[in-house]
Structure formats: structure tokens, C-alpha cells
A and B are shown apart, each in its own frame.
Chain A
């Protein structure tokens, strides 16, 4: 019997027990299923249909309750933002030594002459920790003492679509769950009236690479663990808006009638699906209030709007950062922001600066805002793209690059003001303490109290996990 059958069994048993005794059964199960809720001393709500997570106890003491993943989609050039290479500046225009590139995978520069292309911006030491960060990211620079920069990331896929899939699911094969789905499956949702995995997308500053819905798909996990994309145009959540000509009261009457008719039918049908269906309609109804409430930022003081640099509602990265904080406050487990403007095959100098300008201030605002509210201590922040860019020129731009790139982490359980790992002197390969995408995933799960080898799901006879068959927790970045 697999876990879902167990769950179904419990649900059906609750129906057998009848409504009078349901509370007890559910309470017991909830506390078994969700130690996080219990540990926090929260009253356990008996919410039928709400998923409490497969893990009955954390494998380690959890540090993070939620994560905000700031996906810099398109592949930001580490050489212009987080990984300064004076040697590369020195060798600007000279041929890239073949010892670096021989036998390595190359994307658009296939067959082209490979010349070094020096960093286009100065770097500066920021904060007490004196971290080297590009002068085009002054706001992120101001976070220097809170963040841990990993300069030795590497990945396996060199084109956007599969590389994003790899970053999100740990494989480039489709049909596998994304990291948000894994977390929901493992830990459940803390949110009664919002989805537990929310995706927000903005663009600008470079060529907008497509982002497929696959990136937040639950793959072979049930679709309840899928990410839900929030939109800046139309309904924020698809179909959350009432039909034309239907008032809130009118809609409530319809939903109440649906639920009472389902209830009447179930008196003879004894169908556990119906009990779940009723609770899902209740949640849908709550979402019709909670989602507009979330999106309505009229309660944000001017100081906050100024800090993020947004008036909201425009689908910009800044507006999405503000929403990310609001989602975090509401207990959403996994918030993923995409900013699509980092693909700079040409004109890397202006391109990176423009894109950096669109994300820098709001990123810093988000971290500071969370910190001020005491949320940063249990919110994990990840900032980075699906790969980096070549130290070699592609005209006046840079090509895709997978052997070395940079990201940074902050918040829950992260050792701020530090960096980890390094690329070689030309910024080509991660040579010191390389961190694979699987290692990053293992570390993220670890911060949630999860042993990445133990969060598995059986599909086609095999116990799958986010980290496939490898992944080591990067202990050095942990506080």
C-alpha cells in the first residue's frame, strides 16, 4: 500500500466514523503527520482535504519554514555580477587557452574562435564582511553581511529549457516533480486559503526566454502539489474571479448549495471523495477572498512601496517581490519568482546593467523587509539562474555556460557574510568546492529538516527523489 492509498484509507475511514467522531481521528493523524504544526504549539485544525505532508517527523531540526526562490532566468553572467576575475580582464581579447575549453560542451559558440572577454564592471567590497560584489548591484551589495555567495555552482544542461528543468526538478527529463512540489509533498501546506506553491513571473532587460509551466509542475506527484502561477493581468489565480453578474453573496449561495447537495448525496453514497470535494469548495470560496486580499497592497505604507520601488499591480519584479513577502507572511511554503531578462548573448555590458537595475533594489528590499518583520530567520532566500555565461566573447556578449556560475543564499540557517567555492582564474570551471545543483537541492531540503535521500516517491518501481542518486549537503554554508 503506498502512502496515497493510506491517505485515502484514512479519509474513507473518517467518513465511516461519521462526522461526530471525525475530529478525534483527524487530530491524531494530524499530529502524527505534521510535527511542525505541533512543535510550533499551534492548534491543529481539522481541515479535511488539507495536505499535511508525508513526513511524520523531521530528520533534522528544521531551520526554514518557507522559501523564496528568486530565479534569474536566462543565465545571468556571473562575471559581471558576483564573480570578479581580474585575470580575465587582463586577457581581454586574447585567445581563450585551449586547456580550458577542449572537449567541453559549448552552445552557440560551436565552431567559433574563442577569445577572452574581460568583466565589464568593477567590483567593490561590500559590508563588514567585505564581499566582492559588482558595482551594478549596490543594493544587493548592501546585503553582503546577510548573504552567502556560492561561486562554484555547476549544472548539466546548457540550453534554457532543459537547464531550467534541471534546476527545478533535478533532471532534464519531463514528468518529474519540481522542488516546490517535493516540499509540499513532504511538509504539506501551512496555508488554509492560498496554494502552498506560488509562482510569479516578470521580464525585462534582455531576451525573454520562454518559461514552461513544466517548471512548476508536480510531475508524477499528484497535481495538488503543483505550483500555481499568479498573474498580473486578469484573474491573479486563473478562474478565481466570479463570473460576470454574480455577487459575492450570490456565489456563496451557489457554493453552499453545491456543498449541501453533495452532503445530502453522500448520506447514501459514503464516498470519501465527496467529503474532500466539499472541503475543496470551502477552500475555493476562501481563495476568492484571500487572493484579492493578497494582491491588494493598499495597506502597504508609502515607505514600503518606496523601498521596493513599486506601486504594485504592474507585474514587475519589484511588485512581485512585495507579493512574495505578503505570501511569506501568509505561510505559503514555496514562492518562486522568475525574472526572464538575463539572456545576454550580445551587448552584455548594457544588458546586464539594465536587468540588474530591474531586480537589485527590490531584491534587497525583500530581504530587509523580511528581516524587519522577523521572517527572514525562517525564510530561505535563493537568488540565481539556471546557468552562467562564458568567459569567452560572443560578439560583445557571452554564451551559455554550465561549468561554473554563482548564486547566493540568505535567511533561514544560512551563514551570512560568507562565500563558498570558487571558479578558476578565468571564471570557467568551478574548481574549489564545486556545488552541483543536486547539492543545492540537498542543502535546501536539509534546511527544512529533510534528509534528501529520504524524501522519496515510488514511480515505475523506483523510489525517486529530488536529488536523483547524488547530492551532498553543503555544510559550510549553514549557520
Chain B
């Protein structure tokens, strides 16, 4: 181990040496030590884990994050030798030295020790952590430099720093580079060659600003911004855990695009996302916005415990919200107080409590709501009004209906008295069982099961009748001494009727037609075994009657959706199914009966006893209740209303069809908040923790006399209030990253003690205050950054500068970086002319290798790519399956969006090469571009190469580039001229129509050239 240690030190030494030689000249130890800049990062990294905010991890009762605590014990301001801190960090004794060698902490270097000594000598001043102090607008420095280089205060801050560093800013980039850079940065798309030409030739002093304004106004601006925002809020099309099924939240994605396009202020954007549903008279877009609260992963896995998953979801929301808005790493506090920052465990769970009002189930498919646009809302309203009107018509007696009712009453009374109404038991004509039960018809027309007693059996009974109007079938289940417990079955006495089906022979005499059963009633149903379970679509659920414990007869009626128009010799086939998991639960004895009464009851007459009583009374003697009951019953069956009932049914179907076209989103429903507790060390099973209510991180707010429970709305308002020191800084820092490659503080996700002290702290604060003062105006901030001369610099740097500032933190030039995954795709589609630039809508499925989704289950899924325009949409709209994100996007570092992602680390891998070389998306783009080369690129090979270069990179090729492409073209042409079959295959990749007019060998050779263009580093990078 000792050897390892030495080797490591040696290695670090080498790097330090290297750093000193190459990079560190600007970072010599400062003469005046500044706590936040110089000391806090050291104390936080090496000491706070044991001597910081986490009271449970604190050693020796010493904390170094608070001055009053530290000077009690370890630090004596001004007295270097007398300070325990210095004694320990300089000790040679392995038991004494800090940080302890076995702590895993990097030992303090000589210069770091020197710095701490100097700090103690200078009085050991502490400062509150910079990011927790409200930003004040700093004065703009007066740079002595050439005033023409200052477009706005961004430049003043940067130039002043460069002057101090004795660096000169780079010259402005050429116009072609500028328009490419701006187009990629603001819209995620390349400019067209025509746009480049116009801009290059546009000499007006305002030309650049006009370009910026045009791009800011482009609807693609919102798409570009959304790409970034969607990573933060972990937007995706699937629910993430286990089966990872689809759920519709795309309206939220479109809302985000729209917000950026319409430049909605960031504070409103924040409020709508966190609490749009809580706003008074919330609009549909506001409700859609609040889908933010339900973008977390959810599970449907069997055996998952709701309580555990509710705890996971709650913690996820804290991580995402605190990281997205505050650059806070509150996730650490799920189990313990934060090691570096003052966030406590109680802060964490109090933060969770803000979301406790959201109705959700821990396990199961998340329920969504319709989010119609105005036209759709109007149409839904029209449907509802119509349905309401029809419903009303069906219960409103008219003169005509009253007359009809009187006639019906008279006729029914006569029939009732004559005994012509009522259920009429039927003799079974044929009896069949599928698994061997012997079914025997008895004299009382009942059927008894005997003989073999299979686990499951289905009976089929044929009835013959001359009845003309049949409205229902009654099933009586009857006890019998031959059955178990003298009850109803030979499986312990109880049965489970899992299906009751009726069929009639079809007109062709061979195939039977099902008779639709609309409803079922029973005189008794066992708990969890309702009679309706016998007519649902599920095979294993059914009707049961506790026959195991009670030997009693029971009956049920199955009512047809439309009465059967029978007549002489009508056959009905009735099937009784027993397919439950309960063995031998097959009905032991039963009898079937038919009836003509509409909406029959399970009484002898088929009319309920109350109705019979009412009917028998003269009209004047009836109570109000009886009159109403008769009227209601009659209206329910009146043939005069059949057309209205028909219209109602049709309208309901039409509405259902229409509803399918209305977008859905997971809009939260706010209910009585559930009780939230501190979970000891994150243990969801424990109920021992303190109950918490919503509260903001304790050290960031003044405790007030708040009495009412805080809501998500309060949280959102606080996040974007002037009192919040973090939100504005965090947001402008991330914007800066989008336009300069690295944040002013490079730790975009951590503004705590472990985060990086901003490289240009005054600039960051100035931008944050400007953002708030502007009314949280996002486009204003973007414009400020991209209008700056700092932004417009060339990204070229001479060797000296590259060595001096390898990561371009000082900004004496622009940065270079690879395009994001989605943009790599967008660019290829744009260059080839394939891009379908529709904004928004449901996510789409571009080509994806077969079998990529094979490991998904519950249910298994087959990926089928979309066709036509949908195959050529921007990467942003790609169906985001969290457990299997599209492989081309993954190769270019797209986030899985399972967790809040603040920054994608750009990688450079062979898999990226394979995607650009072989993914049909890129091959197709190349072969479509090849057609354009041949049609529009001029006659000669050189002309065409020129044209291709201009098309793909907006510049002319250098002679060397020209020569190499020419060479490639010739070789490929020779090859394809001799192998037309291969040529045909290549020019047919993808679904885009194949050009059959052009010479196929030439087209294939130009496809090769186009493939080269789409594979160049320059093509997928922004300079």
C-alpha cells in the first residue's frame, strides 16, 4: 500500500509539474486570501465530511464551516503556530495529521498548507458561502481596452479580467462561422447555404443583431431550449421502472417549446410547472405545465410495495426540483444531514412535503387527464351538451308519453292479472359439457350435474321457444342432496360462474351469433364475486354465492342489450363457464327461464313488487313516489323513446372516438396531503421519524410566523423571489454553458460548498441580477450573451493561449464543442433536405435496429418505425423509452432521463463512428443528398464537390480536400459501375423514394462522398 501511495504521489507530482509548466501561471497563490475563493473549497473538500454540517458524522465536536465554532477550538486568528488546525495539517505523525491518511481524502499540498497558514495569519476571516448570499448588481468594470470591443457589460467583465491576466481577446470569427455557431446555438439547426450567403454579404452594421433577432424569433429556438430543459426535468415517454410502459406526457414537452418560443418569463414558467394546477381558474396550458410534478419514474411491477415506491417518488422530486432550480445536491440528505452544505435531513423531507398533495398510487399505471386545446374543448362541450339533452329527453314525460303510459298500464295490468307476464322456465333441448360432467334434465326443468367431476367445465344448453319478444334470461342455481354439503356444487358446495354467454344460430345456419348482454342482476353475490364478473371480459373472475357455507337457492338475470325478436322455433344457446382457479366450482343444479318484460326484476312477474303494487292502484290513489316510480320505469322502456336512445348510444360512441384524438397528460390532482415523515436513514419502512410539513431549507429563509400550510405554489414563488440567492444564478450559469461551452462556475449542478467558485464571480452576479431585473426575460439574457463580443470571438487560439488556458475559462476566445445527440441527427437530415420541421405532437419512432427492445416485457413490444414525415422529425421528438433510449442518441451521450441530468459529458467513441457510418438514418440522408448533388451541384465532379462542401459545411473545400474527395469518387464510381446491384442497394437504403432516373453507379459514388461529409468531425461540431 505504501508503494502505491508513493507512486500516486509521484504521479500527481508529475501532473502538478506539468500543470505548472503549462497551465498554472495564472493561478499563483494569492497574496490576499479570500475565504470563498481560496479557503472554503479546501476546507469543504478535506475537512467538512468530519468537521462540517452533518452533526452525526462530526468528529471531536469540531466544525469548521462556522467561524464561531472553529475559533473556539481549532483556529486562532493571527496565530499560525498556535492554531490547532495548522498544527494538525502540518503534523508528521500519521495519527495526528489531517486529513487522516486512511480517510480517502487527498492530502493537502504544500501550497495549500501555505495558503491556509496565510489565511490564519491574515485573521482567518470567514464568509458566508457565496451562492447563499443574495446577489447584488456589481458595478461594471472599466476596461481600458479598445472600446469598440465592448458591446455590452458581458464584454466589460471579460475584458477587464483578460487585461488583468495580460491576455488579448481573439478577433471576431468570420461570418460563416458566426452564422453556423449562432444557428446551432439558438435553433439546433444549421443555416441554409442561402442564409449564409445573405449574411456574409450583408454589410449593414446591424446585420449581426438582425440575425440574432431572426433566430430568437424562430420556432426552432424553443425546440433547442427544450432539449436542454427536458434533461433537467427528466421528460420521457415511458414510466421508467421494470415494464417501462408508455404514458402520454408529450403535451408537456410541447408546452416547454412554446414557453421558450413565446419568451414567457422564467418565474411564470417556474410557477406553472410546479403549481399550474393550483392557480385559480387554471388554464389547460397551466395544467399541462404542472405535469412537471409527475414526470418521475413509476412502477407497475407485481409485488412492489406502494409505500416504498411513494418514498422513492418523493425523494426523486426533491432531487430533481432542488437540482433544477437551486443547483442544490439535496439528494444527499435523504439519509443524513448534508456533509458540505447546511441542508438538513429535515429540510429534505420538508421539501418532499410540498408534493404530498399530489394524488398518486405507489404501484400501477399512472392515471392521466385529457388536455384539449380550445377547439377540442369546444367539441367536447358540444358532445356533453348533446348527451345531457338526450339524457334529459329520456326522463321527461310529454303528453304523448303520458298517454302511452296510460295505455301500457292498462295492458300490463290485464296481462299481470291473467298471469301472462313473468319468467317462464324452459326445457333444455340439448345439454353438452366440455370436460365430461354428465348433465341431466329433470322434470322440474332443472338440470343436474353428476358423473365425472372435472376441475373446470363449461356447460352449453340449447333452448327452443316460440316467444316473440325476449328481454332476458334468468338463471336459478338450486341446491340438491347429491351435491357437496347439499348445496350448489360438487366442489365444496360453492361455484364460480366466470362466464354467461348467449348465442343464436346465424342466418347461414352454421355460425352462431352472440347476443349481447347489457347487464346482470342477482339476488345475492359473495364479496368480491359480483354477478357482473360473469359478463366482463376476464376469464377468471365470476359470480359466487357463498355456497360452501350456505346451502340456499339463488338466482340471477342476464338482460340483453336489445330484446331478441324471436318467433316460432327460435333457438338460443346458453353457455355457463367455470374457468376460475377454484377447482370443481361448477354449478351443480340450475334452471333457465325467459321473459318478455323489459328491464325485468327477479320477481315472479318480472316486475318489482313496488311496481306491481302501484299498478294495481288507481291513478289517484298512488303516492307521489309510486307515480314517479311508474313513470320512470315506463320512460325507461317506452318504445316511443327508442330513437332517442339510439341517438344517445351513437353520440356516446362518437364522443369516445373523438376523445381518443384529444391529448392526455399526467396533470396532478391535488388532494388532502398525505402525512410525510423524516425517514431515519431513508428507511421507508420506519414510521418512527418526526412528521413534517412543507418548509423551505431552514438556512435560506427567515423563520416567520407562518400558520397556513405552504403549498407548491409557495415553493415556486419562493424559488423565483428576490430572496432566493440561487435560482437566477443557476439558470444564467447554465445558459452561459450553452453559448460558451462551460459554465462560469463549471459545476452546473452544484452551487454548494463543493461546487466551483465562479471563474468570473462578478459577471455571474451581474447576469443573475440583470435576469431578475429584466423580469426573468430569457430571450433578453440569451441575446445579451450572444450579442457580446466575447461570444463572437474566433475559437482559434495560438499555442500559447491553448497552453495558458486549455479549458478556455478566461474566454480569450470562443469554445468548440460537439453537437448534442439530437442535433447530430437534425443536422444530417437538414443537410440532406429530409428534415420534417413540424413542431410538437406525439413522439415519433425513427428507424431502430430490430430486436433492440427484446429485453422489455409486460407486455413484450415490437418496435415499428414510423413512416413518411414522422421518420424525419427532429431528434427531440424521438420516442424516449427510458430503459432503452434510441441507440443512435445514446451513442452521442443522450440522457436516459431517469434522473435529473444537468450536463451530458460529451464523449468521442467508436460507437459514434459506427452510427454515422452505418445507421440507415445517415446512409439514407447521404443517398438523398447524393441525388441533390447530381441534380443541383453542377456538371463537373469538381463543381459537385464544391457544391457538396458548401451544402454540408457552408464553405468551399481546400484543394487537398477537393483532391481526396475526387479520388474517392473515382474509385467508388469504378466499383459501382462494375457492380450495379450493390449500387442499387446502396441508393435504396431507407424508405425515401428511390430516384430511378439518375445513373445508379454515379449516384452510389456520390452517396459515398455524401457519407464522408456527414461523418466529418467538423460536420458534427460547433466552432
A237 at the interface (CB under 8 A from B): yes
Smallest CB gap from A286: residue in B: B910
Binary CB contact string for chain B from 775 to 795 against chain A (1 if under 8 A, 0 otherwise): 000000000000000000000
- Contact across chains for A223 and B802 when beta carbons are under 8 A apart: no
B905 at the interface (CB under 8 A from A): yes
- Contact across chains for A262 and B1016 when beta carbons are under 8 A apart: yes
Smallest CB gap from A260: residue in B: B964
Binary CB contact string for chain B from 894 to 914 against chain A (1 if under 8 A, 0 otherwise): 001011010001011111111
Binary CB contact string for chain B from 746 to 777 against chain A (1 if under 8 A, 0 otherwise): 01011011110000000000000000000000
Distance A421 CA – B885 CA, assembled complex (angstroms): 40
A160 with B242: in contact, given A265-B1017, A462-B339 (CB under 8 Å)?
yes
Binary CB contact string for chain A from 267 to 306 against chain B (1 if under 8 A, 0 otherwise): 0111101101100110110011000000000000000000
A16 with B803: in contact, given A210-B856, A240-B914, A246-B986 (CB under 8 Å)?
yes
Distance A226 CA – B988 CA, assembled complex (angstroms): 33
Query: A17-51: which residues lie under 8 A (CB-CB) from chain B?
Result: 32, 35, 49
* A264 interface neighbour in B11, B907, B958, Cβ under 8 Å: B958
- Contact across chains for B893 and A208 when beta carbons are under 8 A apart: no
Smallest CB gap from B106: residue in A: A463
Smallest CB gap from A1: residue in B: B19
- Contact across chains for B1016 and A245 when beta carbons are under 8 A apart: no
- Contact across chains for B303 and A107 when beta carbons are under 8 A apart: yes
* A462 interface neighbour in B754, B796, B898, Cβ under 8 Å: B754
Binary CB contact string for chain B from 936 to 965 against chain A (1 if under 8 A, 0 otherwise): 000000000000000000000010110011
- Contact across chains for B915 and A244 when beta carbons are under 8 A apart: no
Smallest CB gap from B923: residue in A: A243
Distance A461 CA – B340 CA, assembled complex (angstroms): 9
Distance A107 CA – B301 CA, assembled complex (angstroms): 10
Nearest-CB distance from B52 to chain A (Å)? Answer: 12
Smallest CB gap from B903: residue in A: A220
* A243 interface neighbour in B883, B989, B1012, Cβ under 8 Å: B989
A235 at the interface (CB under 8 A from B): yes
- Contact across chains for B755 and A461 when beta carbons are under 8 A apart: yes
B510 at the interface (CB under 8 A from A): no
A347 at the interface (CB under 8 A from B): no
Binary CB contact string for chain B from 955 to 997 against chain A (1 if under 8 A, 0 otherwise): 0001011001101100110010001011111111100000000
- Contact across chains for A214 and B883 when beta carbons are under 8 A apart: yes
A59 with B4: in contact, given A213-B883, A234-B849, A234-B851 (CB under 8 Å)?
yes
Smallest CB gap from A255: residue in B: B917
- Contact across chains for B901 and A235 when beta carbons are under 8 A apart: no
Q: What residues of chain B lie closer than 8 Å to A237, measured between beta carbons?
A: 911, 914
Query: A128-164: which residues lie under 8 A (CB-CB) from chain B?
Result: 158-162
Q: What residues of chain B lie closer than 8 Å to A16, measured between beta carbons?
A: 799, 802-803
Query: A142-191: which residues lie under 8 A (CB-CB) from chain B?
Result: 158-162, 172-175
Nearest-CB distance from A17 to chain B (Å)? Answer: 10
Q: For the complex, count residues of B whose C-beta is within 8 A of A.
A: 117
* B918 interface neighbour in A9, A217, A240, A276, Cβ under 8 Å: A240
Distance A226 CA – B982 CA, assembled complex (angstroms): 35
- Contact across chains for A110 and B305 when beta carbons are under 8 A apart: yes
Distance A9 CA – B20 CA, assembled complex (angstroms): 13
- Contact across chains for B1012 and A201 when beta carbons are under 8 A apart: no
Range class of the A interface residue count: 35 or more
A280 with B104: in contact, given A159-B301, A214-B883 (CB under 8 Å)?
no
- Contact across chains for B972 and A253 when beta carbons are under 8 A apart: yes
Distance A359 CA – B478 CA, assembled complex (angstroms): 54
Smallest CB gap from A209: residue in B: B857
Nearest-CB distance from B243 to chain A (Å)? Answer: 6
B612 at the interface (CB under 8 A from A): no
Nearest-CB distance from A60 to chain B (Å)? Answer: 8
A98 at the interface (CB under 8 A from B): no
Smallest CB gap from A264: residue in B: B960
Nearest-CB distance from A102 to chain B (Å)? Answer: 12
A125 at the interface (CB under 8 A from B): no
- Contact across chains for A175 and B914 when beta carbons are under 8 A apart: no
Distance A32 CA – B11 CA, assembled complex (angstroms): 7
B822 at the interface (CB under 8 A from A): no
- Contact across chains for B914 and A253 when beta carbons are under 8 A apart: no
Q: What residues of chain B lie closer than 8 Å to A233, measured between beta carbons?
A: 850-851, 854
Distance A454 CA – B1 CA, assembled complex (angstroms): 12
Q: What residues of chain A lie closer than 8 Å to B987, measured between beta carbons?
A: 245
A212 at the interface (CB under 8 A from B): yes
Distance A31 CA – B143 CA, assembled complex (angstroms): 47
Binary CB contact string for chain B from 225 to 248 against chain A (1 if under 8 A, 0 otherwise): 000000000000000111110000
- Contact across chains for B896 and A217 when beta carbons are under 8 A apart: yes
Binary CB contact string for chain B from 916 to 928 against chain A (1 if under 8 A, 0 otherwise): 0111100100000
- Contact across chains for A57 and B986 when beta carbons are under 8 A apart: no
Distance A279 CA – B339 CA, assembled complex (angstroms): 42
Nearest-CB distance from A68 to chain B (Å)? Answer: 19
A472 at the interface (CB under 8 A from B): no
B14 at the interface (CB under 8 A from A): yes
- Contact across chains for A238 and B852 when beta carbons are under 8 A apart: yes
- Contact across chains for B849 and A239 when beta carbons are under 8 A apart: yes
Distance A208 CA – B855 CA, assembled complex (angstroms): 8
Q: What residues of chain B lie closer than 8 Å to A354, measured between beta carbons?
A: none
Q: What residues of chain B lie closer than 8 Å to A330, measured between beta carbons?
A: none
A32 with B329: in contact, given A223-B905, A265-B1017, A284-B910 (CB under 8 Å)?
no
- Contact across chains for A273 and B755 when beta carbons are under 8 A apart: no
- Contact across chains for A224 and B907 when beta carbons are under 8 A apart: yes
- Contact across chains for B1008 and A277 when beta carbons are under 8 A apart: no
Distance A57 CA – B971 CA, assembled complex (angstroms): 49
Among A172, A210, A269, max chain B CB count under 10 A is at: A210
Nearest-CB distance from A230 to chain B (Å)? Answer: 11
A124 at the interface (CB under 8 A from B): no
Q: What residues of chain B lie closer than 8 Å to A271, measured between beta carbons?
A: 816, 1017, 1021
Q: What residues of chain A lie closer than 8 Å to B299, measured between beta carbons?
A: 159, 161
Binary CB contact string for chain B from 302 to 334 against chain A (1 if under 8 A, 0 otherwise): 111100100010000000000100000101100
A372 at the interface (CB under 8 A from B): no
Query: B128-185: which residues lie under 8 A (CB-CB) from chain A?
Result: none
Nearest-CB distance from B473 to chain A (Å)? Answer: 36
A284 with B913: in contact, given A210-B243, A245-B986, A264-B960 (CB under 8 Å)?
yes
- Contact across chains for B301 and A9 when beta carbons are under 8 A apart: no
- Contact across chains for B849 and A235 when beta carbons are under 8 A apart: yes
A97 at the interface (CB under 8 A from B): no
B29 at the interface (CB under 8 A from A): no
A258 with B1015: in contact, given A212-B855, A223-B893, A284-B913 (CB under 8 Å)?
yes
* A280 interface neighbour in B796, B909, B986, B1018, Cβ under 8 Å: B909
Nearest-CB distance from A226 to chain B (Å)? Answer: 8
Smallest CB gap from B967: residue in A: A257
Nearest-CB distance from A255 to chain B (Å)? Answer: 7
Distance A58 CA – B856 CA, assembled complex (angstroms): 39
- Contact across chains for B332 and A462 when beta carbons are under 8 A apart: yes
Distance A172 CA – B684 CA, assembled complex (angstroms): 14
Q: What residues of chain A lie closer than 8 Å to B797, measured between beta carbons?
A: 270
Nearest-CB distance from B407 to chain A (Å)? Answer: 58
A222 at the interface (CB under 8 A from B): yes
A99 at the interface (CB under 8 A from B): no
- Contact across chains for B986 and A244 when beta carbons are under 8 A apart: yes
A108 at the interface (CB under 8 A from B): yes
- Contact across chains for B917 and A251 when beta carbons are under 8 A apart: yes
Distance A274 CA – B1018 CA, assembled complex (angstroms): 9
B887 at the interface (CB under 8 A from A): yes
- Contact across chains for A264 and B985 when beta carbons are under 8 A apart: no
- Contact across chains for A174 and B910 when beta carbons are under 8 A apart: no
Nearest-CB distance from A450 to chain B (Å)? Answer: 10
> Could you show 14 A-B contacts with beta carbons less than 8 Å apart?
A57-B4, A57-B7, A105-B305, A158-B308, A173-B899, A245-B1004, A250-B1008, A254-B1011, A262-B1016, A264-B961, A280-B910, A284-B914, A454-B104, A460-B749
Given A107-B304, A158-B305, A265-B1016, 6 extra CB contacts under 8 A: A32-B11, A174-B898, A253-B971, A254-B1008, A254-B1011, A288-B914
Report, nearest first, the 4 A-B pairs whose CB atoms are least far apart: A461-B754, A245-B985, A245-B986, A107-B303
